[in-house]
Structure 1
């Protein structure tokens, strides 16, 4: 009698700059049937190098990785081309900007660290099967974005927003960006409209909340 065929375990690479978090994930996943942790990385650069070597099926990727390459950039590199691993973002951050950037970079899913282990296991299996995996709160935010899309800031508007965050006035911004004060005022009006604010402080606060500033 032929023994039943068992699928090979899903090979996982963990990328988080906190060693304690990686240890917890490794212990959780290694004790669950169907998963094999094949590597750990503490930075985006390390994740890219390790992924090329150990060939994981799924990379669990945090977004904030300290100095150096962030999780979105690492996700974009890992997701480029065919044959690479699928990237599942696992993070504490659930702002619209973070979610949009991760999905645009090619993430196969977006999960919050507050999820129950069963949700994480299901998301990994979904991602490995080629499906998308989103935490329920993240899915709600994605739907809200689709229903009420907010106009994206242009590159020039982002430049001006950065100068605003530095505390510069209109004249100083105009001088720094080699444009007229009138042009600065026009761009500020558009920035306020897109961010739903009416003050400089409000624009900076929303930009920080939505992670629009580098």
Structure 2
């Protein structure tokens, strides 16, 4: 996106009234231009290729191809420069985790206020991930449960090895699967809460980078981190990039999970 140019947005939703409402909200905010609309996932893929938007507001349930599949297909293109914000009516964990695992930069419910939609577009355009604190907590809890299952003794079910990003429900299972004999001592069946795992990668972080990581773990945007630390957003972006590189994680969400797993939040 060219500095000073409006944020170019593609709206994807199978309801024309919803698209019209989003267009009105975004274009009245200033600095945002809706460059196209699509009513299906197939249309979204074509429009993204033709229009090269900065941000795509993507519905989930649509004809032909759902929004998750469309997100995956769009971002599989190495030339794709769009950030995708999934906007849905349904507050479902499977949608949330599938969206994030597909590379979406944010997850927003359609009952969010107009200012939240505008903020979501601007945050995504700036290269930030949009995760509300409550959504971040759900992501952390999901990954934490996956860690607990992976650390538990194998019970031969194979479920604990499932990826946490696909909403299968396996990762939410308790590590105790009731396989012990009824006469066994109940003591080992319920393990004490684990201490945070060692974080050798975190030792590579500078004091400022560690501070940025703690603020990332609070689901703050780059702008909010900049305001909190009295530094510029460009400096925050540099720190965030360094944090991701040193921790060996893919994105901000993974950095948040890392921080909470290792007691760095």
TM bucket normalised to smaller: 0.5 to 0.7
5+ long unaligned stretches in structure 1: 1-5, 155-160, 162-190, 199-214
- Identify the residue that residue 5 of structure 2 maps to in structure 1: 8
1:52 aligns with 2:49: yes
Q: Decide which moves more: 112-121 or 17-26.
A: 112-121
Find the partner of 2:130 among 122, 128, 133.
133
1:144 aligns with 2:134: no
User: In structure 2, how many angstroms separate the alpha carbons of the residues matched to 1:9 and 1:39?
Assistant: 14
Q: What's the TM-score, normalizing by structure 2?
A: 0.53
| Equivalences, count | 156
- Identify the residue that residue 23 of structure 1 maps to in structure 2: 20
Q: Decide which moves more: 36-45 or 112-121.
A: 112-121
User: In structure 2, how many angstroms separate the alpha carbons of the residues matched to 1:152 and 1:43?
Assistant: 35
Residue 139 of structure 1: how far off its partner (Å): 2.1
User: In structure 2, how many angstroms separate the alpha carbons of the residues matched to 1:37 and 1:195?
Assistant: 46
Find the partner of 1:40 among 32, 37, 41.
37
User: In structure 2, how many angstroms separate the alpha carbons of the residues matched to 1:75 and 1:21?
Assistant: 19
Residue 117 of structure 1: how far off its partner (Å): 1.7
- Identify the residue that residue 72 of structure 1 maps to in structure 2: 68
For residue 133 of structure 1, give the secondary structure of its aligned residue in structure 2: coil
1:70/1:195 CA distance change after superposition, 3 Å: farther
For residue 48 of structure 1, give the secondary structure of its aligned residue in structure 2: helix
**In the TM superposition, what whole-angstrom CA distance separates every residue of 1:8-54 from its partner, at most 9, and x where no partner exists?**
00000000011110010011111111100000100000011111111
CA contact (8 A) 2:25 2:118 kept: no
Residue 123 of structure 1: how far off its partner (Å): 1.7
For residue 22 of structure 2, give the secondary structure of its aligned residue in structure 1: helix
5+ long unaligned stretches in structure 2: 150-158, 163-167, 178-265
Task: Please give the root-mean-square deviation of Cα atoms over the aligned residues, in Å.
Answer: 2.6
1:82 aligns with 2:57: no
